[in-house]
Amino acid sequence: MSLSLTIRRLLISQPIDLPVFHPIAVQLQQLLQTPDFTMDAVVFLANEDQSLAGQILKMANSTVYMGRVRTETIKDAVIRLGAQQVSNLAMAASQAGLHTSDNQLLNGFMQSLWLHSHACAVGSRLLARSAGYPQYADKAYMAGLLHDVGKLYLLKSLERLNKAGVAQAALEEDLLMEIFAELHVDQGCRLMQHWNMPKIYYNVVANHHDPNFDTADIILTVVRLVNAACKLKGIGLAKEPAIDMQAQPETAMLQLTEDELDDLYEVLDDAQELML
């Protein structure tokens, strides 16, 4: 089944202001790109939206993130976890709330996409550390979270078109998968450019499927391998149980052992159970 030209044109002409990013979460990411940001500025911005702040604290105290001491305030979270991790949690918390739809089929796709994106985030953070690059762990988390943001944008676009009474034929599972395959990378890049997101994340969105990727880009390499691990375990929309993880070029590039891959699988299972 080929994607109709009409649907393609409708999708790529949708406004970029669809609810795909929370403004506060984006502002936190942009704040961290400035060399002289302060912790107080991070705390102030994270507290601008009390609902989001509450979700940040909820995630910070979950089993995936929590240390020995419970975090009661955003300031506590920044002190204990660091500005980058709190910024990551703001993006993750806001993304969790955006992966929903009144349309049953689209909602199912969004929920699967969220499970996959969150698992990729948590798995990428672990793998960066396991591979000997702890300095990239927090950025690997964000890259894993956002690598498929183009799919969320396409789903939100289809949701808007469907409510307007057009693109009804696109709401079929096979066609949705075809739409993703053809358009999600380009639309993801369009989003990242519009929101002026850091180049390190843009590169992951642009190249997480490219066979000729930059092997010197550690974060990209990590996300690609975790993405493959999620497919192996059936976390998300794509399921490829025959993937040989030991044979993946990224495994060799990161010099991972079988035990380190087993640790990754365990973390992916934990992340999925948390979100469920």
> What pLDDT does residue 174 have?
85
How far apart CA 190 and CA 187 sit, in angstroms, is 5
Asked whether 220 and 96 are in contact (CB, 8 A), the reply is no
Residue among 126, 98, 117 nearest 204 (CA): 117
| Residue ranges of the chain with per-residue pLDDT less than 50 | 1
| Number of other CB atoms surrounding residue 228 within 10 Å | 18
- How far from chain centre, in Å, is Cα 165? 30
Residue 182's H or E segment, with its range, is helix 173-194
> What pLDDT does residue 9 have?
80
Q: What is the pTM (predicted TM-score) of this model?
A: 0.90
Domain range summary for the chain, segments of one domain joined by +: 12-98, 100-276
> What pLDDT does residue 233 have?
95
How far apart CA 34 and CA 27 sit, in angstroms, is 11
> What pLDDT does residue 28 have?
94
How far apart CA 118 and CA 77 sit, in angstroms, is 20
pLDDT in tens, 180-209: 999 999 999 999 999 989 999 999 999 999
The superfamily in CATH containing domain 100-276 is: Hypothetical protein af1432 (1.10.3210.10)
pLDDT in tens, 144-189: 999 999 999 999 998 988 888 876 666 788 888 888 999 999 999 9
Strands (E) located in 41-89: none
How far apart CA 174 and CA 86 sit, in angstroms, is 37
